[in-house]
Amino acid sequence: MALVVLGVILFGLAIAALALWVMGLFLFGALPGTLTPAAPNANGGSEGWLGLLKVALTVSAGVGGAVALTVAYRKQRLAERHEPRQVAEEQRAAAASKREAEKSCLDQYRAAVEQLAHANSTVRLAGVYALANLADAWMARRQQCVDVLCAHVRTPWDSNPDTQSGESEVRSTILRVIGAHLRDDKRPPGYESWSELDLDLSGGDLNGLDWSECVIGKINFRMAKFRGGAWFSRSTILGTAEFINASFDEDAVFSDVVFNSGAIFADATFAKDARFNGTTFHDDALFPEVAFNGGAWFHEATFAGNTDFQRANFAASVIFDRVDFTGEARFDGVNFEGEARFHGATFADFTLFSGATFHSVAWFAGAAFGEHEPDLEQANFAPGAQLIDAGSDYAAPSPYEGVAGLPD
């Protein structure tokens, strides 16, 4: 290629020189007996050669342009000839690199799973972090890696610390690692968001779960056992939240949680306090046949969908002060052992209390009902129970007043 370009350039220079010589013959004539141009005569003056030079330079420029176009055309043809081959080579290289990366990730995945199944709890703990790190780096299989972590928590185990001293730490670490990936703006460096993932911890034995201030996708805690407390305060749950038949042996804190989709707590058991104060349910909130054995707080909550507490049992006080019920609110068949406070609550749709039983004070002072009045006449009031209806001017006590062990 270089020799071709050099040859074209030399040819162009030769053409320019020849043009200069021919123009000299044409303008000034030749010396007698030669082909050498004569010197400028009086008619041409000293500018004759200058004009000749200008013409020659113009010709040279034209020839140079032709040379440049020839070289450019030659380069373009060569580039066009080699471009498909280069593109194909780049595609093959990219595919090979992708296969190699995929193979490396698969090898790491197999090694981490083997670690998680190891007899030694320290090795299992290393497997937890290995899978978590791989999930961050391997977006295509992130859900799969997290599914394995959740499956480990779901696996039945002997929680006796004398026989499984390290397994409790392994499972607690899995929950902490998942929670750290769900904290949208407070994740540790290098942690990717797992908020878009589905989390299945159904039947899991969960110790001290703290997923406060998290953004959580779809979660399944069906038949899960929450030991040592459960905290979800100020979190946003994007998908359906299932707590069917779940049991909480300590306080369950859902204060200021936003449920963007359905929340299902059917047949759940709360051994201690259940706190849903300030919580927002954008879709249906289902609590049928739930056992609230401690205090239950729902004050200033918002129920934008239908609300179902049918046949639930409140063994202590339940607070629904200043709650907005936008959809249908069903409390039929509910057993209220302690005070039932609905002070300042707003009911926009049907409100059903048929078959409900009140054993203490039923507060409805300041409550507002839409077109449909509540069917409180269909409710049962045990001896000593008192109804404070919506038309009364009683001031509601503090939501925590009279509840032992809690601040005002």
Q: Domain locations in the chain?
A: 2-102
Q: How confident is the model at residue 80 (pLDDT cuts 50, 70, 90)?
A: low
Q: How confident is the model at residue 399 (pLDDT cuts 50, 70, 90)?
A: low
- Work out the average pLDDT over 71-98: 69
CA atoms within 13 A on the CB side of 348: 11
Query: pLDDT tens for residues 239-274?
Result: 999 999 999 999 999 999 999 999 999 999 999 999
Residue 31 has pLDDT above 70, yes or no: no
pLDDT of residue 184: 83
Give the whole-angstrom CA distance, residue 360 versus residue 382: 8
- Work out the average pLDDT over 10-20: 60
Residue 24 has pLDDT above 70, yes or no: no
Query: pLDDT tens for residues 34-43?
Result: 555 655 554 4
| Single-letter code of the amino acid located at 287 | F
pLDDT of residue 266: 98
Mean pLDDT of the chain: 85
pLDDT of residue 328: 97
- Work out the average pLDDT over 146-155: 97
- The pTM is what? 0.76
Lowest mean pLDDT among 37-51, 123-137, 374-388: 37-51
Lowest mean pLDDT among 111-115, 163-167, 242-246, 341-345: 163-167
Residue 147 near residue 200, CB atoms below 8 Å:
yes
pLDDT of residue 405: 40
pLDDT of residue 371: 86
pLDDT of residue 162: 58
pLDDT of residue 404: 43
Give the whole-angstrom CA distance, residue 241 versus residue 88: 49
Any residues with CB less than 8 A from the CB of 342 and at least 6 apart, and which?
Answer: 320, 321, 323, 362, 363, 364, 367
What single string gives the DSSP state of each residue in 85-106? Answer: HHHHHHHHHHHHHHHHHHHHHH
**Bridge partners of residue 329, in order along the sequence:** 307, 351
pLDDT of residue 309: 98
More confident residue, 21 or 363: 363
Lowest mean pLDDT among 59-73, 172-186, 351-365: 59-73
Collapse the DSSP code of 347 into the 3-class scheme (helix H, G, I; strand E, B; otherwise coil) and give the result.
Answer: strand
Residue 331 has pLDDT above 90, yes or no: yes
Residue 221 near residue 210, CB atoms below 8 Å:
no
Residue 96 has pLDDT above 90, yes or no: no
